[in-house]
Structure 1
Amino acid sequence: MPDTASGVDPRPGRRLRARRADQGWSLSRLERETHYSRGYLSRVENGRQRMTEDLAQACDRALGADGELLAAVRSGLGQECPYPGKAPYSEETAQWFFGRDEAVGELLAEVRRQLLTGRGLYAVIAPSRAGKTSLLRAGLVPALRDLDGTPTVRVINPGPEPELPDERSDVLVVDQFEEVFTQCHCPKRRDAFVEGLCRRACSATFVVVGLRVDYLRQCLENPYLSPLLQEHTYLLPPMTDAQVRSVITGPADSVGLTVDPDLPDLILRDLRGRNGAVSLPLLAECLHRMWHNKRGQRLGLAEYNASGGVGSTENLTAVLVAMAFVLAQMERNHRSATTDSTSTSATL
């Protein structure tokens, strides 16, 4: 059964470790024979990363396992949903993160250059719903952990009480940096966090921040952040149609599902119907519902229609927002009426 902590079936990884031990092979030798990194192989063996069919075949060939590992992988196919829905992709679901190879490659190259100096700050800037969290947590961070020398990496969210970790790391990733403005309502705490972060970036830690573009002005007005942001920024581009198609088909392929050939174009047409922009959360939510509506090992028009399409989540969200507004207005009216009544009674 899949490991409840990571959502990954650990059995193929355990079988790989046992096969490797029987052969007396080190991870370094398996790396040379299969051309997969030691970090990746180690995560597979420890149940932190799912073993793909390609990896299973490579290991079967290298270890002379006669298809044993591939059979172990295929025995669990289709049991786990490869679309996270509302949740962003993470290190645990990185094997299903598709469509951002180019961006990950550019970020990784920049971080590798800066790691030579051991310090600096790099800002990944994009609009809301563009997939910054997934890019950092499921794209950049796993790629960093696979680098030779394995730099130490920490990931934090500022939250309402932003605080730097005591333990130093080679790379510190600050996801959703705009939370220092949206959630932290104490100016002193906010300023202390930002100043400490910038000092760390100027000493022995390379800092990567993910920032919503509509909070760039506040950052540029900060005397500590401004010079660092003007040095190194990466503007995350919108996904191309080909990249969106890979978001749809890649995870399905990895778990042995077949996607009807016309389905990606239909979803793309509906996604771009209103203003030409792709909302990745809407797409992820729709794909999650489709997987749960599937019959057999196929995703097609029937599953898409049963899920309500990419517009249903947006419509539901709009309804919920409207309901919340109405309820809040009713509450304000009630409070106002109660206050007026109390004042009248006191006057009388």
Structure 2
Amino acid sequence: MGKPSAPRRNPKKPAQNPAGDVYNLGGDFRHATINIHSTLVSAQEVKELESLPPDPGDPPYLGLQYFNEEDADRFFGRELLTARLVNRLKSTRFLAVIGDSGSGKSSLVRAGVVPALKRGVRLGDDSLPPTDSPKWEYRLFTPSAHPVDALAAALNYDAASPASLTAMVASLQGDPHSLSLIIRQMLARRGSPRLFLVIDQFEEAFSQCHQEGERRAFFEALLSVCDPADDQPVSVLILLRADFYARLAQYDRLRDLVASQQEFIGAMTRNELFDAIVKPAALGNWKIQEGLVEVMLDDIGNEPGALPLLSHALLETWNRRRQRTMTLSGYTEAGGVRGAIARTAEAVFQQRLTAEQRPIARMIFLRLTELNEDAQDTRRRAPFSELITRAIDSLTIDAVLSILVEARLVTTGVVEPGDVKTVEVAHEALIREWPTLRQWLEEDREGLLLHRQLTDAAADWLRLQRDPGALFRGKRLQQVSDWADKNPTLLSLDEQTFLQASRQALAEEQARERRYRQALVLRRVVFPVSAVTLIGVLVALFFLTGLNVRFKTPAKMNGVFNVAVAEFGLIDAEGNQGAAPGEGGTLVSGWVANKLRSELAPDPNLLVWQDGPELRRQNVQIGRVAGLTPAERAASAAALAERLNAQMVVFGDIDTRQQPARLKLEFWLAPQLDYRFEVSANGYATGGDLPIRDVAHPGIEIQPEVNRQASTLAWVALGLTRMRFGQEREALQAFRQAEEFAPDSAAVQFFIGRESLFLSDSDLPNQQTLTDEAEAAFRRAIALDPAYGNAYIGLGSVFFASAKRLVPPVDQAEEGLRQAKALVEQALEAYRQAESLPTVSEESGTPVG
């Protein structure tokens, strides 16, 4: 972090108001009058104040906290943008406000748009809000981990009974279109003509909600009341972080709606920033040393996400004021725009917390950070109860939180309706700018991801009234248990209870198995000889006929990434599908499975199954994937994967409708990581068809090509596993290794493009290179398979990401906006091409994030 810039000797004064330096803040501000000229004091005057203590009073700045409705009278600098948003709401019932973290979206809407609509007075551009907006009903909420619950709570917060909230949640989950009726009933009760629904931090629907079904129900509910063809008495405004924009791509209707009705928030101009700095001080009769404003403006530059840094630096400079004057020396002591947050956080952590309290604070900050694999880490709202462990009681937690809240690093709140206390960091800028916290997050990121899985699973288990089906099992339980054994003091009480229940369920299952085996032994000992003989005969028949296997519960795969190799079938000359003659199908599937096992042997997280004696002993038969069309094969593979708990299914058929017969090796991927993998018109293939002259005994001449394609599959599987662990660079390397085996595979090119695009958001030094590589990969995928819809959507995501990065400061808008608009048009054209393709599978959508 650099030091604050030195003050200029002849600071340039900001452009004056036409009426001079005196501003009449009429209308919203109750005719308060402030004098900007008298707010700025000379260096000579400051010199005489340097040794004087600060005067008492309330701070004019909020630091990391966003402006709320009650702060509207001191919210300056966004008047014209507020007017633009309000005017857009006259002609649309849906609007998406999009901007970088720290661009001021929440403050703009909470302290700008909402108060302007409620007051109904003339706006900054001399226009008026909608005529009846003061009579509207207003609701604002954040999606959190359960967006349907949060939506219901926002609409139901003034209801008398919690039962009505439960009923509303059930109604929305069962039929998202019931939202229209719920809103109309609420408006009738309140006597209001329209609902204005604001959804702040809309990205939480992606970063915190891990249930795809609940996320889709939430989106469907919103879309049902925003349909332009169906006029509803509701206006919806969402606030979305720009780095989550591409996540909309897999939700077609929502993506199109946002694309058509959006407002990107760029950096504030110097004049707007001058107002945001000087006018709140002038309103409270605070003074600012001449030159300080210019130094701050130079330090902040044109970065759209730097507003919380500036706001915190202002608050810390005010804390170091001389009498009523904020000085350059105080600004330097605070650390300037770039260093104030880190300096404050580090000072609080090292100086205000005791040695015993620091580990607790560390635990709190880690719990309040949501780890993201395809975007920047975000803040996370956690219930207070989640912070309590067996080693740390609520009073100790309260003492630490009080210090963090007083320093404005953390905020607390209550979930409505009810009295559930919540905690969250004041702003995501703290996560970005405090090196100590960044270091904590990177020290054991894999462990933190496991811990977050445990946290989410425990919460879901409690929400499901301790349903045994929600407990951990198999390898997942083993991984989390190993981590928990090494970090026992980090587990909350609920997490400990959930983990103990999972272990107890496993112990009970093992005990039942032992009792069953012991019972068999006892029966053999105590029965009469004749009975023993009879039983022996029956038992022998039981095993010889395979009845023991038939009565056994079929096993399921328990690896982190499971690959099932189906038996390869045969398509006869009439187009009928069946078993290959002789050992042809079994032989090919054996080659594939053995090659996969040899390639993946170094990684214990991957499991490969193929039909054989070992699976028969576990009452498992993989069988074949049926179907002649991509849609039929995808449906059959999906059913097979669900039965086995597989994430990848490898399959194929020997097609004898042409001579020589042809073998095509394909694979299917289960929906995972918030994406649904769409099968292209030609399926997911790893190479060309292979000629087979003897279908009953495929010759060794095709084995090298089968091995090559199987190696491709192995590296694809490895890449997907790395994705699951958040190892994006390693995933990209694996997909590039797959490309060496299958340079002409559209699917492999797609995976390379997607991972390159993911990495471009986090690897800023190589951002443009990675973006170019992503575009090239998607274009190559399209060239290889023009019917591959996901590749078009991936290409569109590249253009949208590039357009977002080109959105310029308002005072430098023309060229940057021209380029950004051109890229957006290219993105929309790519999406239109994708939509024009025939749907070939219910597993449709896009895995491009």
Give TM-score, length-normalised by structure 2.
0.29
Deviation per CA, 1:153-180: give whole Å up to 9, x if none: 2111111111322445521111111110
CA shift at 1:280, angstroms? 0.7
Q: Which moved more, 1:159-168 or 1:86-95?
A: 159-168
Q: Is 1:225 matched up with 2:227?
A: no
Superposition deviation, residue 289 in structure 1:
1.1
CA positional deviation for 1:279: 0.5
Do structure 1's residue 82 and structure 2's residue 199 form an aligned pair? no
Q: 1:254 to 1:52 in 2, by over 3 A?
A: farther
Unaligned runs of 5+ in 2: 1-23, 35-54, 121-130, 157-185, 188-193, 344-433, 451-480, 487-849
| Corresponding letter in the other structure for 1:128 | S
Structure 1 residue ranges without an equivalent (≥5) = 1-33, 41-49, 56-76, 115-119, 340-348
Task: Give the aligned partner of residue 189 of structure 1.
Answer: 214
**1:299 partnered with 2:416:** no
**Structure 1 position 211 matched with structure 2 position 240:** yes
CA distance in 2, matches of 1:225, 1:328: 32
**Cα distance in 2 between the residues matched to 1:318 and 1:242:** 32
Residue 121 (structure 1) aligns with: 94
- Residues 21-74 of structure 1 deviation map (CA, whole Å, 9 limit, x = unaligned): xxxxxxxxxxxxx9966xx5xxxxxxxxx867339xxxxxxxxxxxxxxxxxxx
Q: Distance in 2 between matches of 1:278 and 1:156?
A: 22
Query: Alpha-carbon deviation of 1:240?
Result: 1.2
- Map of 1:321 onto structure 2: 438
Answering whether residue 113 of structure 2 is matched by residue 134 of structure 1, we say no
Q: Secondary structure at the match of 2:268?
A: coil
- Quick one: distance in 1 between partners of 2:305 and 2:143? 27
1:204 CA displacement: 2.2
Aligned to 1:143, the other structure's residue is in SS state: helix
Larger radius of gyration: 2
Residue type of the partner of 1:319?
T
Instruction: Note the alpha carbon deviations across 1:160-213, whole angstroms, 9 max, x for none.
Output: 111322445521111111110011111111111111111122322111111111
1:257 matched residue in structure 2: 286
Q: How does 1:1-348 map to 2 (within 5 A)?
A: 53-54=32-33, 79-114=57-92, 120-147=93-120, 148-149=131-132, 150=134, 151-163=136-148, 164=151, 165-166=155-156, 167=186, 169-202=194-227, 203-272=232-301, 279-313=306-340, 315-316=342-343, 317-326=434-443
Question: SS at 1:84's partner residue?
Answer: coil
8 Å CA contact retained: 2:77, 2:275: yes
Shift of the 204–338 alpha-carbon distance from structure 1 to 2, 3 Å rule, reads closer
Q: Deviations over 1:87-131 (max 9, x none)?
A: 1111121222111111101001111333xxxxx211111112111
Shift of 1:325: 2.6
1:248 and 1:35 map into 2 onto residues whose CA distance is 16
Q: Secondary structure at the match of 2:201?
A: coil
Residue 104 of structure 1 aligns to a residue in which SS?
A: helix
Q: Which has the higher contact order (CA 8 A, sep 6+)?
A: 1
Deviation at 1:262, TM superposition (A): 0.6
Checking the alignment, whether the CA contact within 8 Å between 1:170 and 1:206 is kept in structure 2 is yes
Distance in structure 2 (CA, Å) of the matches to 1:152 and 1:330: 45
- TM-score, normalised to structure 1's length? 0.69
User: What one-letter code is carried by the residue in structure 2 that aligns with 1:189?
Assistant: E
Contact 1:78-1:256 within 8 A present in 2 as well: no
Identity across matched positions, percent: 28
Q: Is the 8 A contact 1:171 1:206 kept in 2?
A: yes
Displacement, 1:282?
0.7
1:294 alignment partner, SS class: coil
Moved more, 218-227 or 262-271: 218-227
Deviation at 1:271, TM superposition (A): 2.2
Task: For residue 144 of structure 1, report the CA deviation from its aligned partner.
Answer: 0.9
Q: Is the 8 A contact 1:52 1:254 kept in 2?
A: no
Match for 1:259: what amino acid? I
Alpha-carbon contact 1:88-1:133 (below 8 Å) kept: yes
Contact 1:162 1:189 in 2 (8 A): yes
Query: Are the structure 2 counterparts of residues 175 and 102 from structure 1 closer, same or farther at C-alpha, using a change threshold of 3 Å?
Result: same
Give the Cα separation in 2 of the matches to 1:184 and 1:104.
30
- Identify if the C-alpha distance between structure 1 residues 330 and 215 changes in structure 2 by more than 3 Å, giving closer, same or farther: closer
Structure 2 residue matching 1:93: 3-state secondary structure: helix
Q: Is the 8 A contact 1:220 1:229 kept in 2?
A: no
Aligned partner of residue 140 in structure 2, secondary structure: strand
Q: Distance in 2 between matches of 1:287 and 1:204?
A: 42
Letter paired with 1:54:
T
Aligned residue for 2:33, secondary structure, equals helix
- Using the alignment, how far apart are the partners of 1:110 and 1:78 within structure 2? 43
Q: Are the structure 2 counterparts of residues 225 and 328 from structure 1 closer, same or farther at C-alpha, using a change threshold of 3 Å?
A: closer
The alpha carbon displacement at 1:253 in A equals 1.0
Question: Residue 153 of structure 1: SS of its match in structure 2?
Answer: strand
Pair 199,325 (structure 1): closer, same or farther in 2 beyond 3 Å: same
The number of residue pairs the alignment matches comes to 267
1:222-262 C-alpha deviation (Å, 9 max, x unpaired): 13312321321111121111212222112111111121221
Distance 1:215 1:327 in 2: 25
Per the TM alignment, residue 306 of structure 1 is displaced from its structure 2 partner at its CA by: 2.6
Tell me how far apart the structure 2 counterparts of residues 198 and 337 of structure 1 sit (CA, whole Å): 42
Q: What letter corresponds to residue 32 of structure 2 in structure 1?
A: E
Give, as a single letter, the amino acid of the residue that structure 1 aligns with 2:215.
R
Q: 1:297 to 1:336 in 2, by over 3 A?
A: closer
- Compared CA separation, residues 155 and 260, structure 1 to 2 (3 A): same
- Measure, in 2, the Cα distance between the counterparts of 1:217 and 1:336: 33
Could you tell me how far 1:330 is from its partner in structure 2?
8.7
Deviation at 1:336, TM superposition (A): 6.9
Distance in 1, matches of 2:483 and 2:294, equals: 52
Q: Which moved more, 1:152-161 or 1:218-227?
A: 218-227
Distance 1:87 1:206 in 2: 26
